[in-house]
Every structure is written in C-alpha cells, then in structure tokens.
Structure 1
C-alpha cells in the first residue's frame, strides 16, 4: 500500500471533535503512524482534511433514467466531491425499491461501477402506489434501514398509519418528503410575488407545514422513528423543534441550495431554478440557516438530481424539477463558513457524523470512511466542463465560486 504524507494541513476530525494543524500520513484511506516510507508528499498549507461525506438525498437516475445519469457517472461525481456514502429515494423508473433482492443488486452495482456505498431507501408502499404497504420485512432483509413514499401521494391517512406501525415493528426509519398534495396541487414554485407576476402555479408553504404537522401526530401515536428530508420552509423548523422538545424520535435535513438560493432565481422563467420542494423566500432561507446553526436541522444534503439538457427546455412549469448538486456542495459550504454561520468543524459534522447518526450507521461509516482534502480558497468557475456530474442543470452556471475537493483518499 502507498502512503501519502500531507504536511501542515488543518485536520477537521468530527469523531475526535478536534480542529488542528498537523502533518498526517494516509494509507489505504486511513490515518496511519509517521513513517519514512512515503510515496507522495502534499503541501497542505491552507487546506482542510476531513472524512468522506454522507449524503442523505441524491438521485443517481439508474435504473431506468440513464439519459440523465448512471451509477458510474454519478458515483464518479460523488467521489470527486468527497462523498462516499449516498442515500437515494425509492422513486426510480421503473421502481425496484419495493424488492429486497433487486436492491441488493443495485448496491453491488453502485460499488462496482461508481465506487460508492449506495444506501437505498425502500418503498413505503408497493410500487409507491400509496395503497398497500410494501414488504418491509423483505426490504430490511435486502439491506434497507429506512422506507419512504418519496414524492408519491398516499391514498389516505389510514395507509400512512398502517405503514408507520409496520415500520415501527421492524425498527425501520420512515423518511418523509412532506408535501400535502391537496394544497400543492399542480404548483411548481413558491407562492410569492415573483410567481404571481410570472403567472406560474404555486406551492404554498402550508403544503409542507400541514403535512409535517399531520405526520408528527402519527409519529407520536405509533412511536416510529422518522426523518423529514428536504425542509424548505422556516415554519417547518419550528415544528421539528417542538417535536424534538417533546421527545419524539424525529430528525431532519435540508438541501444545501435552500440555504443559499431563493425564489428570486426563478425570475425570467429560469427553468434551471425549477426544483421541488421549490426555492422559498428570503425569510425561509434565513430561518433554515438558523435551524442549522441551532442544531434543530441535523444534516445538510445535496439533493442531487442530474438531468439532461432537454429536461429543462420546455416552458417552466412543464420542465423536470431538479438541480445537479454534487459539484456545488463544497463551494456552498465554504460560503456558509465565510458568512459566519458555521465554523469549519461544525459544517463537517453536518455532512459526516450527524447524517451517519440519522441513518443509524455511525459505526459502519467510521469503518468505511476515507479522507478528503479541501482547498477552501481555490477559485473556479461553474461550467458544463467543470461539473463532473452528467447533469449540468444548475442556476449557478457561469458563476465563480471558492472551495473545491482536490483529493479523495479511500480504501
């Protein structure tokens, strides 16, 4: 095995809870003792060394949507940006995440093709039809630790309660991407001035908060462990805060772009800014940021959704929602730190130990994690050429940013 020596690097270690400048040696993705047998020496001055990241929500598009991305292309993009463990929702096309045997094959293919540890969230109902509970026992046997109905609606609330009871009995986590379909209807953007001026169908914040409120009552009644993914509204943070204060077994995350972008970006019918849940108002962004700072929000995910260029070429409301987000994850984080919201080690925890704890995989993550070298001062321009992912669908195209992963060390 080759040993890499990194001199004078700022080591951000969330496991030891330390932040210090050191000279370190890495062998096979692990820190090792000092030695003279060094294959490469790297000047770490001004750079950060941190563990590989855990992403709680990314769509890699395989199986079924390889025109947008594959396990190989998106695994490569994840690793290039320091992400080794990726959780994916159960809404591929076709849906295979209601079959434990097929999930096992998907996980193996992700490692073989893309070099990443894929964690598949199982389907909460059969085929995400919202009617019949999926075979959660079979899903657990296939390696799933969590289930979700993704963005698909439930037929009625009785189905939700039965699936929560089923999951609780198996000690599985239920992941909610909360949106009340009767309120969201055919909306595509945040209910606000810009949407009104452009005549676009809107998704009120109430679509999220009503759904969260309802699900919290069901969680309290069933005792199931639950995670709320992709919060977009400031009021949602307060609801989760109250639930945690009551002792309910709930956690939550936010997509990195919700901490930076608002519905101002959709002005001019910019379909690259079409995402779901939608970009919200400035006040929502600020309250989400405060939720991260206060620790109410447990983790920051990418919400990576690569799309081909044709998926964004129709009129705004008819385009497919989603951002490519692996490549902007670290620059956005550096911006959070420069804005004074988080210290570097605090940010590292939101993308490593904290999402690992949410996913009930802390010990496994520690055993499998490698190390990532980040240059927080490296300036680069976001272009179709500099984005590693197959998807080039981001409203940040053409912008110059700071912060980039320059090395990933894994076993």
Structure 2
C-alpha cells in the first residue's frame, strides 16, 4: 500500500473535534504517524482534509430505472465527490426492498460496480402498498437498520400504528418523508404566488406539517425511533424542535438544495427546479438554515435523483421531480461556510459524523471512512461535461460554483 504525505493541510476531523493545519501521512485510507519513506507528497496549502461523507437520502435508480442512472454511474459520481456511504429509500421500480435476500445482492453490486457502501432502507409495508406490514424481521436479517414507506401513502392510520409497533419491537428506525396525500393531491409546486400565477397544481406547507404532527403523536404512543427526511418548511423545524424538547427519539435531515434554492426558480415553468418536496419560500429557506445551524435538523443530505433528459421535457406538472446533486454537494456546502452559516468543521459534522450517527453506523463509518481532499477555492462551471452523474438534471447549469473534491484516500 502506498503512503501519501500531505503538507500544510487544514485537517477537519469530526471524530477528534479538531480543526488545525498540519502535515499528515495517509496509508490505506488511514492517518498514520510520520514516516521517512513516502510514495507521494502533496502540497495541501489552502486545502481541507476531511472524512468521506454519509448521504442519508439518494436514489441511484437501479434496479429498474437504468435509463436514469445505474449503481455504476451514480456510485462513481458519489465516490468522486467524497460520498462513500449512500442510503437509499425503498421505492425502486420494481420494488425489491421488502426482500432481505435481494437487498444483500444490491449492496454487493454497488460495492463492485460503483465502489460505494450502499445502505438500503427496507419497505415499511409489503410492496409499499400501504396495507400490510412488510417482513421487517427478514429485512433486519438482510441488513436493514431502518424501514420507510417512502412517498407511498398508507391505506389508513391503523396500518401506520401497526408498522410502528412492529419496528419498535425490532429496534428498527422508521424514516418518514412526511406528506399528507389528501392535502398534496396532484400538486407539483409550492403553494404561493409564483405557482398560482402559472396555474401549477400546488403542495401547501400544511401537507408536510400535518403529516409530521400526526406521526409525532404516533411515535410518542409507540416509542419507535424515527427520522424525518427532506424537511422543506420552516414550520416543520418547530415541530421537530418541540418533539426533541419533549424527549421523543426523533432526528431529521434537509436536502442541500432546500438551503439554497427557492420557488423563484420554478418561474417560467423551469422543470429542472421540479423536485418533491417542492422548493419553498425564502422564509422557509431561512428557517431551515437556522434549524440546521441550531442542530434541530441534524444532518444535510444530497437528495440526489438523477433523471434522463426526456424526464424533464414535458410540461412542468408532467415532468418527473428530481435534481442531480452529488456533483454540487461540496460546493454548496462551501457556500454555506462562505455565507457564515457554519464554521468548516461544523459543516463537516453535518455531512459525515452526524448522518453516520443518525443511520446507526458510526463505528462502521469510522472504520471505513477514508479521507477526502477538498479545494475550497476551486472555481468550476456547472455543465453537462463537469457533472459525473448520468443524470444531467440540475437548475444550477451555467453557474460558477466554488469548492470541489480533488482527491480521495480510501482503503
């Protein structure tokens, strides 16, 4: 194994809680003591060295939707951008996440094809039909530590309660992507002036907050551990804050794009800004940022959803929601630091050690993490050529971003 020496690099270590410029030696993805013989020396002046990241929500599209992305293409994009552990919701097409044996095969394929550690959230109900609990005991045996019904609706609240009781008995976390179907209906954009003026079907913030409030009551009744993914509304932050103050076992994350982009981007029927939950108001963005800063929202995920160009070519409401996000993740994080929301080490914690803790994989992540070299001053243009992901669907095309992973050191 080769030994790399990196001189005068700013080491951001969330495990040791250190932020300091030093010279380090890396062998097989691990920091080692100083040695006389090295295989490569890198000038780390002005660069950051941080652990690889853990993404709490990304869709890689395989199996079943390889026209949008594959384990190979999206694994390559994640790895190149410093994301080694990727957690994916259970709504592939066809749905295989209610079968523990099939899940094991996907995990192996992601490692072989894409070079990443894939973690699959199991289905909460059989086939995500919202009617019967999935075989959660089998899913846990297959390697799942969490279950979810993704964006699929439950037939009734009794089904939710039964699945929460089942999960609690197995010590499985339940992941909610909260949206009340009767309020969201066929909506595609944030309920506000811009969507109204364009005549787009709307999804009110209330669709998210009503669902969160209901699920929190159920969590309190069953004692199940729960995670709320992809928060998009400022009012949701206050619900999670109150739940945590009450001592409920809940955590939450937000997609990076919700901390930067707003409903303004949907003006002119810009389908590249069509994502679900939708981009919200400037006030929501500000409150989400405050929630992350204060730790009410525990982590920042990519919500990576690669799509083929044809998926975005219909009228806005008929296009498939999703933004490709692996390639812009670090640059948007650097922007949050430049804007004063975080110190660099705080940001690193939000994308590495804290999501690992949320996903119940701290020890494994520490063993497998490796290190990433980031140039926080590197300017690059977002284009189809600079995005590694097979999906070229981002509203950031044509923008110059600052910050990029320039090297990775993984065992």
TM-score after normalising by structure 1: 1.00
2:248 aligned with 1:253, yes or no? no
What is residue 81 of structure 1 aligned with on the other side?
81
For 2:91 and 2:324, locate their aligned partners in 1 and report how far apart those are by CA, in whole Å. 17
Matches within 5 A, 1:48-87: 48-87=48-87
2:101 aligned with 1:101, yes or no? yes
Task: Write the deviation string for residues 176-233 of structure 1: whole angstroms up to 9, x where unpaired.
Answer: 0000000000000000010011000000000000000000000000000000000000
Q: Unpaired segments of 5 or more residues in structure 2?
A: none
Q: SS of the residue aligned with 1:20? A: strand
Q: SS of the residue aligned with 2:187? A: coil
For 1:240 and 1:304, locate their aligned partners in 2 and report how far apart those are by CA, in whole Å. 23
What is residue 144 of structure 2 aligned with on the other side?
144
Q: SS of the residue aligned with 2:346? A: helix
Shift of 1:376: 0.4
Task: Write the deviation string for residues 36-67 of structure 1: whole angstroms up to 9, x where unpaired.
Answer: 22111111000000000000000000000000
For 1:37 and 1:382, locate their aligned partners in 2 and report how far apart those are by CA, in whole Å. 39
What is residue 352 of structure 1 aligned with on the other side?
352
2:5 aligned with 1:30, yes or no? no
Matches within 5 A, 1:316-327: 316-327=316-327
Shift of 1:128: 0.2
Q: SS of the residue aligned with 2:105? A: helix
Matches within 5 A, 1:62-211: 62-211=62-211
What is residue 306 of structure 2 aligned with on the other side?
306
For 2:271 and 2:37, locate their aligned partners in 1 and report how far apart those are by CA, in whole Å. 53
Over 4 Å off, 4+ runs: none
2:370 aligned with 1:337, yes or no? no
Q: Unpaired segments of 5 or more residues in structure 1?
A: none
**CA RMSD, Structure 1 to Structure 2 (Å):** 0.4
Q: SS of the residue aligned with 1:283? A: helix
Shift of 1:121: 0.2
Shift of 1:358: 0.5
For 1:247 and 1:76, locate their aligned partners in 2 and report how far apart those are by CA, in whole Å. 40
What is residue 389 of structure 2 aligned with on the other side?
389
Q: Return 28-37 or 366-375, whichever deviates more.
A: 28-37
Q: SS of the residue aligned with 1:87? A: strand
Pairs aligned (count): 411
For 1:405 and 1:36, locate their aligned partners in 2 and report how far apart those are by CA, in whole Å. 27
What is residue 404 of structure 1 aligned with on the other side?
404
Shift of 1:35: 1.1
Shift of 1:280: 0.1
For 2:106 and 2:140, locate their aligned partners in 1 and report how far apart those are by CA, in whole Å. 15
Matches within 5 A, 1:365-380: 365-380=365-380
What is residue 243 of structure 2 aligned with on the other side?
243
What is residue 289 of structure 2 aligned with on the other side?
289
TM-score after normalising by structure 2: 1.00
Q: SS of the residue aligned with 1:340? A: coil
Q: SS of the residue aligned with 1:286? A: helix
2:13 aligned with 1:8, yes or no? no
For 2:109 and 2:271, locate their aligned partners in 1 and report how far apart those are by CA, in whole Å. 32
For 1:184 and 1:326, locate their aligned partners in 2 and report how far apart those are by CA, in whole Å. 27
For 1:191 and 1:143, locate their aligned partners in 2 and report how far apart those are by CA, in whole Å. 39
